[in-house]
Amino acid sequence: MNNYVRLSPRWRKVWSDIWGNKIRTLLVVLSISVGVFAVGMVYSSYLMFQRDLNISFVAASPANASLFTDPFDEELVESIRSLKDIKAAEGRRNVNLRIRAGDDQWRQMVLVAIPDYIKQKVNVVRHLSGAWPPGDGDVLLERSSVAALGVKQGDRITVETSTGRKRSVKVTGVVYDPSQTPSSFSGNYYGYISMDTLEKLDESRQLNQLNLVVEPAVLKDNDTTTIKDVGRQSWKKLEQGGAKVSWMQVNKPGEHQMQGAINALLLLLAVLGVLALLLGTFLLINTVSAILAQQVRQVGIMKSIGASRDQILRMYLSLVGAYGILSLVVAAPLGALAAQAVTGFISEMFNFDAGGLELPPRVVILEAVVAVLVPLMAALGPVWRGTGITVREALNDYGISAIRTKGWVDKMVDFGLGRLKKLPRPVLLSLRNTFRRKGRLALTLLTLTVAGTVFMAVFSVRTSLYSTLDQALDYFHYDVMIEFADSYRASRIEQAVLEVPGVKMVECWGRVSGRMLADERKESETEASKNVYIIAPPVKTQMINPQIIAGRWLLPDDENAAVVNTEVLKDNPQLKVGESAVIIVGNRKLRFTVVGVVQGILAGPIVYAPYEWLAGAVQEAGRARSVQLVADYQDAKEQSSLGRSIEEHLKKNSLRVKNVTITWEQKKLIRSQFDIITTFLLIMAVLLAVVGALGLAGTMGINVLERTREIGVMRAVGASSLDIGKVFVVEALCIGLLSWAAGMILAVPVAVMLSYQVGMLFLKNPLTFSFSFLGVGIWLVLSTMLAVMASLLPAWNAARLSVRDVLSYE
Amino acid sequence: MIGKLLPWLAAADVPRSKSNAVAVELTDVRKVYLTGAGEFVALKGIDLLVDNGEFLAVVGKSGNGKSTLINMVTGIDRPTSGEVWVAGTAVHTLTENQIAVWRGRTVGVVFQFFQLLPTLTVIENVMLPMDFCNVYDRAERPDRAMDLLNLVGVGDQANKVPASLSGGQQQRVAIARSLANDPPLLVADEPTGNLDPRTAEAVIELFRELTQGGKTILMVTHDEDLACCASRIVTVSEGRIARDGYGTVEL
């Protein structure tokens, strides 16, 4: 009896509504949880991500600018360090060599030599285990390369030097280098060696990368002008010292070098969160309306025995609030766990340390708002209407609702169905039922349509990413590219390459980098300027497939002609076809006439110039620094092994090979990097599909409950269980197909927008848009399957009811 | 909380009733329904006076306005015109919300289909009106509900849910519930319509006992035999009172 003193009967009723109908409670809690989960996951991964990235990032004291050059001596670093506004400057040496680990496979490895491991100040490499610093003849591996290579501490690695000799080094420890992209994503392996070891690998005791940190006092927020200034001064110093600079990379202060990709992922996460919340809310409005619809009679009874409207309002709002709290309890920990998984994934991708699981108070507060306030807002309308019903209306609710005055939608449906007279009657009933509750239908359709739209759009983004990649790689038609550490006579290179069986075609190109000046004035030389990369193929090259936007491609008589790509144009908007351009290469000022503009895709700023002219202009007439070739075979594996045998052959002929690039391997690598973002997109699409399916299942479940009496009537006039089940399955299918069609139409603009955003953030370039019909097909199959699955349980429930059950049902 | 935020919503103070009033007084009550087929006049000017302590049976054929008539008394439905005074309160002037609170304290309603809340136990169903109208002390309510259940003879079923009771037992629970707030007036719409004759008689007997205790009872029935147990019989035909007689009436 004391029980009743603690909890009065009306709250017992609320309790029994929650506890007594577990399936319904589950459905409501699920629909709220989806939104809470998504919001919590997105927000806490955002926070955890920021926190962890920052810690790793600051600890590494990242460079503001890095210059990549020909080898230079350590003394040069000393003179740069004395430049104004430079806080720290450090040099290191990167060499890309072939190595062989435990298995017999040859791979490329980036070997980094740092003069002083103990006194590092920029892009700090941290010691994790084993020896420190690396001893003579030792190599320390970056942590992400250890597993990818499958080697243990104490194992030996064989390194093939640029002269073709084989040396053995011992793995003695593991380090962490936050500035490198992990092996699993970059496809590169990283080893850290001492300068002594570098010499033993047939390399000079010199550096080829300069990392700079600018005095924080002269930095203005995110402005990179000062950094570029300081970088350019260092560039000059290096070139005065005889080291040709090939590239300068400027990082925005405080921004990770992959900030664009990070922003793209965060954007996608945010879109996911908002959409899931939105769909969860639709679902909730439907479910709460349905609960109220089921309880009309009970509301009437309570009113008849003296309950006022605010008492009943309070009961139902408390019910919804209780669902919300329950959802919070379910979804908050799950959201935190998912956030940890997401952060872990991103940390592996961007090489930072993922910190521990955390559930910050502001995330919990946001989740609580989403879990309790959003459902209450969603429920307010239905509850207000439901409690406003008069006792007479409530008690007259027989469970078979009368057909209301027909609107234009009904007329259209009737007209449509009239033309389909041959359909069996139960199917007609399903179709008509579909349109009976227009509000509910609209919300269910909206939920499923949004899910479908995003799903199909995501597939299009994926296709667009791939077609952009294909287009970019279609630009260059060579299978293998080899870069040399020095320039060699072109005829010697060509001859050596053609001696290797399997080479179909070979071309020597000039490759050199420079700075594009704003104009020809002397003062411009010291002003801000942009990096460009000059590629000088033979004019009649068959390995470039340029997409000309304006002007023309290079012609045989061209002297100082230049074709620029759109990336160059973006950095230097003053350039026009027919006018001149000035590029500083080394200490030479080259004057070009721009003759054409071509599309640039994923290639950076490139200026194409005729080989003969450029080689002469940089005093390397008849010589080249790179060779590209087309293989006899189409097979990818054979192309790789061809690349390897050419490399060996060239080294035997004393040509110092700097780098070998196999086009298809490059393609595979970029594709796998693209897959990161498409995997993310797919997870997002699947989550939304789950919400959509939940919505449909909820709607069908409610429809069955609401039509229990109708089912009884059908049974009484001889409908079999199968007939009744079919009515609901066909109805769900109808909803599924409608949403598929609507989603398909909406998916086109959404996909265009999403591709553009992902392209701009991820690649700094819009993607080549391509609509995915595969996605449309998959969603058709999926939405059909979801519809059938979502309706099976309710249909089975409906078919199980006996006539007596349903006619006495209330 | 709602009371503070939306005072107009929670405002359910019922105007004070006139003292020494008759139990029910209907003056020229008309009720018109708008249906798809046009207007339907359910009540065509009803005048009715019921004294305290009367046991009044309303009889008549289906569709002649019996239920509409007593829905006017309980405030479940509103008259199109005319006045409805119940225990000194002008029901036709109250808002929907005021009616609910007023009804909870003044009128006990018994339905043909019992209308118990399926998810609550029998005793909880009986306690529910006390809870809503906040009458009696919280600690007192279970005992009072138990007393009422014993009074109607189903005390031993107190902790079961309605679905496990027979029809007659459920109707007894419904009657106990209608008595929960000790209202002066009991209104029953076909209370025996779903019961077998023996149980029906027992229910009527219960009503008689209640009138002897001072309650006024209005009962709609189409069973003339049962109607004869009432102290007064009003026959409704086509929206008008066709006959109004005391004692045993032959039809």
Residue A92 has pLDDT above 90, yes or no: yes
Looking at the structure, tell me whether residues A746 and A798 fall in a common domain.
yes
pLDDT in tens, A694-752: 777 777 777 776 677 677 777 777 777 777 778 778 888 888 898 899 999 999 999 99
Q: Which of A510-519, A605-614, A729-738, B31-40 has the highest mean pLDDT?
A: A605-614
Decide if B71 and A392 are in contact by the 8 Å CB cutoff.
yes
How far is the alpha carbon of B89 from chain A, nearest alpha carbon, in Å?
16
Residue A121 has pLDDT above 60, yes or no: yes
Average pLDDT value for residue range A277-284: 79
The dihedral sign for the CA sequence A172, A174, A175, A180: positive
Cβ atoms B173, B122 nearer than 8 A: yes
The vertex-A384 CA angle with A382 and A387, nearest 5°, equals 100
Is any Cβ of chain B less than 8 angstroms from the Cβ of A587?
Answer: no
Give A652-658 contacts, CB < 8 A, sequence gap 24+: A652/A164, A653/A496, A654/A163, A655/A484, A655/A488, A655/A492, A655/A493, A655/A496, A656/A162, A656/A163, A656/A484, A656/A485, A656/A486, A657/A162, A657/A482, A657/A483, A657/A484, A657/A485, A658/A96, A658/A162, A658/A483, A658/A484, A658/A485
Decide if A9 and B127 are in contact by the 8 Å CB cutoff.
yes
Between CA A38 and CA A34 the distance in angstroms is: 6
Q: Spell out the SS3 assignment of A521-559.
A: CHHHHHCCCEEEEEEECCCCCCCECCCEEEECCCCCCCC
Question: In chain B, what residues touch A305 (CB-CB under 8 Å)?
Answer: 103-104, 109, 128-129, 132, 177-178, 180
**What are the b/e assignments for A286-302, b being 16+ CB within 10 Å?**
bbbbbbbbbbbbbbbbb
3-state secondary structure of B230: coil
pLDDT in tens, A197-249: 999 988 889 998 999 988 888 877 777 788 888 888 888 888 888 888 877 88
Structure tokens at A482: 């080899």
Question: Which of A630, A652, A667 is the last residue in one of the domains?
Answer: A667
B186 DSSP β-pair partners: B108, B217
Amino acid identity of A663?
Answer: T
3-state secondary structure of A487: strand
pLDDT in tens, A139-163: 999 988 888 888 888 889 999 888 7
Average pLDDT value for residue range A556-566: 87
Burial (Cβ within 10 Å: 0-12, 13-18, ≥19) of residue B39: exposed
How far is the alpha carbon of A737 from chain B, nearest alpha carbon, in Å?
36
Residue B13 has pLDDT above 70, yes or no: no
Average pLDDT value for residue range B178-185: 89
Between CA A753 and CA A28 the distance in angstroms is: 33
Predicted local distance difference test score (pLDDT) of residue A575 = 85
Between CA A295 and CA A598 the distance in angstroms is: 69
Looking at the structure, tell me whether residues A614 and A688 fall in a common domain.
no
Q: What is the ipTM for the molecules in this complex?
A: 0.81
Predicted local distance difference test score (pLDDT) of residue A149 = 84
Structure tokens at A3: 């029980």
Between CA A92 and CA A71 the distance in angstroms is: 10
In terms of Cα–Cα distance, which of A434, A444, A460, A371 is closest to A691?
A444
Is the bond into B162 cis (omega within 30 degrees of 0)? Answer: no
Predicted local distance difference test score (pLDDT) of residue A545 = 85
Residues of B with CB under 8 A from a CB of A: 1-3, 6, 9-10, 12, 71, 74, 76-77, 96-97, 100-101, 103-105, 109, 111, 113, 115-120, 123-125, 127-129, 131-133, 138-139, 141-143, 177-178, 180-181
Burial (Cβ within 10 Å: 0-12, 13-18, ≥19) of residue A88: middle
pLDDT in tens, A158-195: 998 887 788 999 999 999 988 887 777 777 889 999 99
Predicted local distance difference test score (pLDDT) of residue A400 = 45
CATH class of B51-78+92-246: alpha beta
pLDDT in tens, B88-124: 888 888 887 888 888 888 888 888 787 888 888 899 8
A148 DSSP β-pair partners: none
Band of residue A131 on the pLDDT scale cut at 50, 70, 90 = confident
In terms of Cα–Cα distance, which of B74, B12, B2 is closest to A384?
B2
Looking at the structure, tell me whether residues A557 and A486 fall in a common domain.
yes
The dihedral sign for the CA sequence A247, A251, A257, A262: negative
Decide if A307 and B96 are in contact by the 8 Å CB cutoff.
no
Residue B250 has pLDDT above 50, yes or no: no
Cβ atoms A158, A94 nearer than 8 A: no
**What is the Cα A717 distance to its own chain's centre?**
57
B237 DSSP β-pair partners: B240
Structure tokens at A205: 């005791």
Nearest to A314 among B2, B138, B177 (CB): B2
Decide if B120 and A12 are in contact by the 8 Å CB cutoff.
yes
Q: Which residue has the higher pLDDT, A98 or B4?
A: A98
Predicted local distance difference test score (pLDDT) of residue A344 = 83
Predicted local distance difference test score (pLDDT) of residue A141 = 92
**Which site among B33, B117, B126 would you substitute to test the A interface, given the most A Cβ atoms closer than 10 Å to its Cβ?**
B117
Q: What percent of chain A has pLDDT over 90?
A: 10
Between CA A760 and CA A743 the distance in angstroms is: 25
pLDDT in tens, B36-72: 777 888 888 888 888 888 888 888 887 888 888 888 8
Nearest to A310 among B3, B77, B143 (CB): B3
Q: What percent of chain A has pLDDT over 70?
A: 91
Between CA A601 and CA A608 the distance in angstroms is: 14
Helix and strand element counts for chain A (H, E): 26, 20
For the sheet containing B24-35, what is the strand order?
B38-50, B24-35, B81-86, B89-90
Decide if B132 and A308 are in contact by the 8 Å CB cutoff.
yes
- Give me the number of domains chain A comprises: 4
Predicted local distance difference test score (pLDDT) of residue B241 = 86
Phi then psi for residue A30, to 5 deg, are -60, -45
Predicted local distance difference test score (pLDDT) of residue A105 = 74
- The DSSP symbol for A372 reads I
Band of residue A527 on the pLDDT scale cut at 50, 70, 90 = low
**DSSP-assigned letters across all residues of A225-285:** HHHHHHHHHHHHHHHHTTPPEEEEEE--TT--TTHHHHHHHHHHHHHHHHHHHHHHHHHHH
Is any Cβ of chain B less than 8 angstroms from the Cβ of A808?
Answer: no
Question: Which of A255, A281, A315 is the last residue in one of the domains?
Answer: A255
Predicted local distance difference test score (pLDDT) of residue A755 = 87
pLDDT in tens, A372-415: 988 888 888 888 888 887 777 777 655 444 445 456 666 766 67
Structure tokens at A760: 């701009």
Residue A6 has pLDDT above 80, yes or no: no
How far is the alpha carbon of B246 from chain A, nearest alpha carbon, in Å?
29
Is any Cβ of chain B less than 8 angstroms from the Cβ of A17?
Answer: yes
Domain span holding position A295:
1-62+258-397
pLDDT in tens, B200-220: 888 888 888 888 888 899 988
**Chain A to chain B, count of Cβ pairs less than 8 Å apart?**
106
Q: How many CB atoms lie within 10 A of CB A220?
A: 9
Backbone torsion region of residue B196, taken as left when φ is above 0, otherwise alpha when ψ lies between -120 and 50, otherwise beta: beta
Decide if A8 and B131 are in contact by the 8 Å CB cutoff.
yes
Between CA A262 and CA A257 the distance in angstroms is: 9
Looking at the structure, tell me whether residues A707 and A604 fall in a common domain.
no
Question: Which of A335, A370, A397 is the last residue in one of the domains?
Answer: A397
Decide if A307 and B9 are in contact by the 8 Å CB cutoff.
no
Between CA A405 and CA A418 the distance in angstroms is: 19
In terms of Cα–Cα distance, which of A665, A489, A632 is closest to A107?
A665
Stretch (H or E) spanning B218: strand B216-220
Residue A1 has pLDDT above 50, yes or no: no
Residue A321 has pLDDT above 70, yes or no: yes
Structure tokens at A68: 């990549």
Residue A47 has pLDDT above 50, yes or no: yes
Q: Which residue has the higher pLDDT, A535 or A469?
A: A535
pLDDT in tens, A659-707: 888 888 888 877 777 777 777 777 777 777 777 777 777 777 777 766 7
In terms of Cα–Cα distance, which of B39, B173, B79, B45 is closest to B117?
B173
Residue A124 has pLDDT above 60, yes or no: yes
Cβ atoms B113, A298 nearer than 8 A: no
Place of tokens 């230079």: A72
Looking at the structure, tell me whether residues A638 and A508 fall in a common domain.
yes
| Cα radius of gyration rounded to whole Å, chain A | 34
Residue B14 has pLDDT above 70, yes or no: no
Residue A758 has pLDDT above 90, yes or no: no
Place of tokens 């207007």: B39
Looking at the structure, tell me whether residues A462 and A494 fall in a common domain.
no
Chain A residue with the nearest C-alpha to that of B115: A301
Phi then psi for residue A7, to 5 deg, are -130, 115
Q: Where are the domains of chain B?
A: 51-78+92-246
Decide if B111 and A1 are in contact by the 8 Å CB cutoff.
no
Stretch (H or E) spanning A673: helix A663-706
Looking at the structure, tell me whether residues A483 and A456 fall in a common domain.
no
Average pLDDT value for residue range A780-797: 81
Between CA B19 and CA A262 the distance in angstroms is: 78
Residue A451 has pLDDT above 80, yes or no: yes
Cβ atoms A624, A492 nearer than 8 A: no
Question: In chain A, what residues touch B118 (CB-CB under 8 Å)?
Answer: 298, 810
Band of residue B1 on the pLDDT scale cut at 50, 70, 90 = very low
Q: Which residues contact B13 (CB under 8 A, 6 or more apart)?
A: B98
In terms of Cα–Cα distance, which of A89, A28, A24, A36 is closest to A61?
A89
Strands A207-214 and A588-598: unpaired
Q: What is the mean pLDDT of chain A?
A: 82
The vertex-A575 CA angle with A574 and A579, nearest 5°, equals 120
Between CA A229 and CA A778 the distance in angstroms is: 53
Q: Which residues contact A737 (CB under 8 A, 6 or more apart)?
A: A783, A784, A787
Predicted local distance difference test score (pLDDT) of residue B195 = 77
Q: What percent of chain B has pLDDT over 90?
A: 2
Between CA B207 and CA B108 the distance in angstroms is: 12
Looking at the structure, tell me whether residues A663 and A676 fall in a common domain.
no
Looking at the structure, tell me whether residues A181 and A76 fall in a common domain.
yes
Predicted local distance difference test score (pLDDT) of residue B2 = 47
Per-residue CA distances from A686 to A346, A629, A679, A699, A732 (Å): 19, 43, 10, 20, 19
3-state secondary structure of B24: strand
pLDDT in tens, B81-94: 999 988 888 888 88
Looking at the structure, tell me whether residues A543 and A564 fall in a common domain.
yes
Looking at the structure, tell me whether residues A542 and A624 fall in a common domain.
yes
Chain B residue with the nearest C-alpha to that of A314: B2
Phi then psi for residue A482, to 5 deg, are -120, 130
Place of tokens 């087929």: B37
Q: Which residue has the higher pLDDT, A40 or A164?
A: A40
- The DSSP symbol for A190 reads E
